Amino acid sequence: MKIIKYFTFCIIFLSISGFFHYEATSQNNKKGYPFSHLELPKTQPNDQIINHTGYTLSYNSIYRIANWVAYKLTAEEIFPVVKRNDHFVPDPLLKSESATNSDYKGSGYDKGHLAPAADMCYSYQTMVESFYLSNITPQYPSFNRGIWEKLERQVRQWAIDDKVVYVVTGTVLTKGFSTIGYNRITVPRYFYKVILDYTEPDIKGIGFIIPNEGSHEPLQHYAITIDSVEKVTGIDFFYQLPKDQERTIESKIDLNAWSWSSTSTHNKVHSSSSVQCKGITKTGQRCKNLTLNSNGYCYMHQSQVPGAEPQNNGINNSSNRRTIPVRCSAITKKGTQCSRMTSSPNGKCWQHCGD
């Protein structure tokens, strides 16, 4: 009888303790106290999630690249402790097939990071992990070394400005993509990045979707709400936030709340508040993306702006053609890499839509 009373007492005590712990946690979250891995998007049961020291990734075994990588970046982690090693290796925790270095050899694409090596320079282990091929995607050199690198530098500056930011970077997989190498590694047509500053009093969020191509546009040209990125990707970012707060942060964007020290001023490019894109989709409906572009069209429908000239992917073809021809990066109908040589800026020959 005493034993029964003892266990009953323990159960009641643990229940009460758990209740007060839950209430305390809920109140802390409402006050903006730290969450457990706030950077992680909402996952699905069949997602292949890999946890590394510096970042977490969701791997897509069909496309042989990551859906996303997520990590928290602090001001202290920005300053390098170790040097970049440039040693690309397979991910030892990946259970399915992945890319190899030979898949990229001669493809014309850079091995582009999702979690940048410069964000992982605070320890030897994190630097090594940043070069796992599961964290790498095929990126055009003009993209990887241009607008994408500029965005990576800007995020690091925000980490310094705001002490800590939460970052999710991933790929937008659309129909008509190409592949490279024997393992048929998917070449994304777009990349995205969402950033959350959850430090009071200036809590804010911002998103970007940028085509995998060279661009001379300022970063603000590609800035959109996190909600817009969620609509394109189908991923629920920062879902641990209180719903009202998540709705507020992800549905709005204020470019003036972010510093743009590494880019040109945005006032000439954007209006002060987001509006629904005026563009028309392939189904004949109005685009649902929100945009800050002063012309009222989002990044996907700039070609529909009245009087717009045909786009050249942000590259001046007459002055930026390759001085040394390279092998066309496109894949033929037989599944092999095209054998033609090209001087086109996008790395493709005339038959495969070279510039």
- Domain limits, CATH 3.40.570.10, in the chain: 32-262
User: What is the predicted pLDDT for the residue at 307?
Assistant: 64
pLDDT tens digits along 116-135: 999 999 999 999 999 999 99
* Active-site choice (52, 87, 113, 221): 113
* Residue 266 designated active-site: no
Helices H, strands E: what count in the chain? 7, 15
> What CATH architecture applies to the domain 32-262?
3-Layer(aba) Sandwich (3.40)
CA 326 – CA 205 distance, rounded (Å): 41
Q: Which residue has the tokens 């945005």?
A: 266
Are 166 and 89 in contact by the 8 Å Cβ rule? The answer is: no
Tokens found for residue 103: 């898949």
CA 244 – CA 223 distance, rounded (Å): 22
Asked whether the bond before 45 is cis by omega within 30 degrees of 0, the reply is no
User: What is the predicted pLDDT for the residue at 118?
Assistant: 96
CA 32 – CA 27 distance, rounded (Å): 9
- Supply φ then ψ for residue 123, to 5 degrees: -160, 160
Q: What DSSP element (H or E) covers 273?
A: strand 270-276
Per DSSP, 99 falls in state -
Residues of the chain with pLDDT under 50: 2, 7, 9-11, 13-33, 263-272, 310-319, 322
CA 138 – CA 153 distance, rounded (Å): 20
User: What is the predicted pLDDT for the residue at 16?
Assistant: 43
Q: Kindly tell me the sign of the dihedral angle through the C-alpha atoms of 267, 268, 269, 270.
A: positive
